[in-house]
């Protein structure tokens, strides 16, 4: 594996349990076991850790900004309590028909993250996601991706579809396992 400096994470299904009914309040935001500790390990290894997350519940009017901010505050606090932190958090609040450039599968959020963190060499970044949209966004941004099967979608179908776009993509059970792979590649 090439030398990495930055790991871009999807939120729902990677850091926390996802729901087809959206995460609409802080009580519904529940970390996947091992995910917060994995973020801490990435940070301890000197990597930048970011979040790039579609949050269309905002644009759909299912959640207001204050409630969304409360969910994000819980995520950040729980991550810090586990010894981790985020260098940047990018969120697309738009619905799928809003015509924005940030919503995955488009690369806007990832490109925004590169600019915000002054990442010149995209080969030093990798995306960890649980959906084909995550892989498509990584591909469009010119970076590699890893999949985790901890989301609520059909992981095997997502993996097979993703291999057509990125033949060497790998899938792991969760962020903890993906992190172990990333860190082993950095040694």
**10 in active site:** yes
Catalytic residue (one of 12, 18, 134, 144): 12
* Dist CA 106 CA 109 (whole Å): 8
Catalytic residue (one of 10, 18, 144, 177): 10
With tokens 């994470």, the residue in question is 9
Q: Catalytic positions, please?
A: 10, 12
């Amino acid at each position: 594996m090439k030398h990495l400096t930055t790991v871009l994470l999807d939120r729902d299904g990677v850091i926390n349990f996802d729901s087809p009914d959206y995460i609409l309040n802080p009580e519904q935001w529940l970390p996947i076991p091992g995910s917060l500790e994995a973020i801490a390990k990435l940070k301890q290894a000197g990597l930048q850790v970011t979040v790039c997350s579609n949050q269309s519940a905002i644009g759909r009017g299912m959640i207001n900004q204050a409630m969304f901010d409360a969910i994000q505050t819980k995520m950040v606090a729980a991550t810090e309590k586990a010894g981790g932190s985020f260098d940047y958090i990018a969120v697309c609040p738009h619905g799928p028909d809003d015509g924005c450039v940030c919503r995955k599968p488009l690369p806007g959020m990832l490109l925004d993250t590169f600019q915000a963190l002054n990442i010149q060499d995209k080969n030093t970044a990798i995306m960890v996601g649980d959906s084909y949209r995550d892989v498509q966004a990584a591909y469009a941004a010119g970076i590699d991706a890893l999949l985790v099967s901890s989301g609520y979608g059909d992981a095997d179908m997502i993996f097979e579809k993703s291999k057509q776009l990125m033949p060497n993509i790998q899938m792991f059970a969760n962020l903890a396992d993906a992190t172990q792979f990333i860190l082993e590649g950095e040694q």
